[in-house]
Structure 1
Amino acid sequence: MKQPFMAIVLTVSGSALLAAGSAIAFDFGDVLKRTVERATQSEVQRKVDQETRKTVRCALGDTRCEKAARADAEADAADADPAAGEHADAGGDHPLIAPYRGSVRKERDVDAFNEYLRIVGRAGKAAKTERLEGKLTRLRYDNPKGRSTFEIERNYRDALTARGFRVDYECVKRTVCGTTDKPSWQSLNGINLGIAGDVRYFTGKLAYGSGAAYVSVAVNPTVTYVHVLETASMERDMVAVDADALAAGLEKDGRVRLDGIFFDSGKALLKPESNPALDQAVQLLRQQASLKLLIAGHTDDTGSHAANQKLSQQRAEAVRNALLARGIAADRLTAQGFGSGVPLADNASDAGRAQNRRVELVKQ
């Protein structure tokens, strides 16, 4: 009699437990759901409160807001234009000057705005410097083997000169340059030529974009430094040539290169950066009222002979037209293109081709 009774009791108890378990599971799921909903609402409210506090802080002048806004603006600019912003900078050489062929870039440092101590001379046992501000690019290259410091330095100089660059200080040999003086060049601006005796250095400036570029090149047997400081506005002394220098060149050789004349590659439309050089040519012609000039256009040998001949003629005429527009009489100016037929340097190198692309004034 006891066994059936126990079975009944167990059966009833098992059903109750199952029912209770279902109820507990249901209640737990409902509790969990409400907990998640409350947590979500709490997180939303927390975010709202956080943004409210941030807005109040910004309204009160919190400097963190300005920094955050600047960072957001830079990120948006980089997304819109991959070339914008330092973080979007993919690297590479400076567009103003290509490295000597065979060089290997080892360091590259670009600051959107910084100060720079340009070495412009030596006074006793100390370097003379000029403090500049602007966009600063510092590059270091390993030199190709078997090339002299003279050859490397001359290539950089010629390529820059072809763009209107003017050297305002240069030196050769460590004992003359004083690269290891105290303070050393390395501590002043990062140029570290070591203790090598065979060092070469030059620095100067040219019109670049809407402003100016100061370029410093330092070479020893193993490395080359190229530093470029770009200013935001044109300086008054940034004329690549002057009337007196043009007159002296004509007097000496009967012809003179008109530096500071710029065209886009393959085109004959004068760029605005050419205006200072054109104005100096006009000044020359006004100073010498009887002077008549042939404006000679020259190209490198890239492309066909016919295309180069046509382009050089168009560029010579563009310069003539610019001088006519400035009030020079038409019978004093003749334009002629010579294509690539009268090179000044070997067209096998970038520096040589840069020298060959030029406009000259020839005395008639």
Structure 2
Amino acid sequence: MLAFAFPAYAQNFGDRLRRTVERAAESEVQRRADQETRRVTRCALGDQRCIDQARRDGNEVEIVDSRGSPVQGNGDTERDHPLITPYAGSVLRQRQAEAFNEYARIIGHDVPGRSVVTERLEGRLTRLRYDNPEGRSTLEISRNYRGALEAQGFRVDYECSGRDECGSIRNPGFNRINGMNLGVARDVRYFTGKLRWNDVDAYVSIAINPDVTFVHVLEATPMETGMVGVDAAAMAAGLERDGRIELQGIYFDTGRATLTAESTPALEQVAALLRNQPGLQLRVVGHTDSQGDFQDNVKLSQDRAEAVRLALMGRYGIDAERLTAQGVGPSVPVASNDTEEGRARNRRVELVKP
């Protein structure tokens, strides 16, 4: 009986194999047809603007090196930063790249081992975390990175080594401020500085413990504007519904209360809102994140709210009695201050109906 069943089984298997081959051939033909019809934009490695624009246009992105040869990987989530080659033998474990964000660069301590001093920067931000190769000291790794950067014109403006200089993990330090989690190791090193690269100022901060190296690069590039519209009618609806709105599109110089030119469209719409509703009165409320001194943050938020109020009065002729300014600092967060994303959401200006 088995002798008669075997040929039928073999025939069925042959039929299934033939259909599988036919389907694979059809898929390959379709894949090649898709390749012929798709739109591909070739972007140089590290050219994030090109990558972002291609994706907005609905194109596929092909990353190429300086010779025009394709680069393996997608070029913006699994690659080193083109500014600096990692220490030999390092393994890239994490990469976070943002086209525009704020970054708190650690530039010192008010007292060694105590509260850190930071400089707030804005621009294209790349955060990299590497596993260190075995048998290499933090000193050797640090000096190699520093030497490679200094060869390109880099200048160090702050450095520290060891917990006594760099600070205790119990104080608001590296991990809470900028995500450089150096753990409990006492053998830690950190340096930061600046160089001119690709026609912008690039700030590089590197922190090292025996196991891990963090490389953060902030390129002081301007933010793309015009991505979000501000509409007086939408403001009016939000105020009617909730009694308050977050004022989108308001920008200040880093750490200051000076409105930038990019704030003009939003201010114009607030002025239009007030002209459309002659009886409307508003309180302009400034908010900050929790980084830094509480009283300093309250003053900064008050100054920023007042800057918006004065701009509406001076540029657009809004009656002073219709506007008040209030700064509450970090007292009313809308997100966690433990992450950079949360802190960015907490830095805001609101319009509130009294």
TM range, smaller chain: 0.3 to 0.5
What TM-score do the two structures reach when normalised by structure 1? Answer: 0.42
Higher helix share: 1
Q: Which has the larger radius of gyration?
A: 1
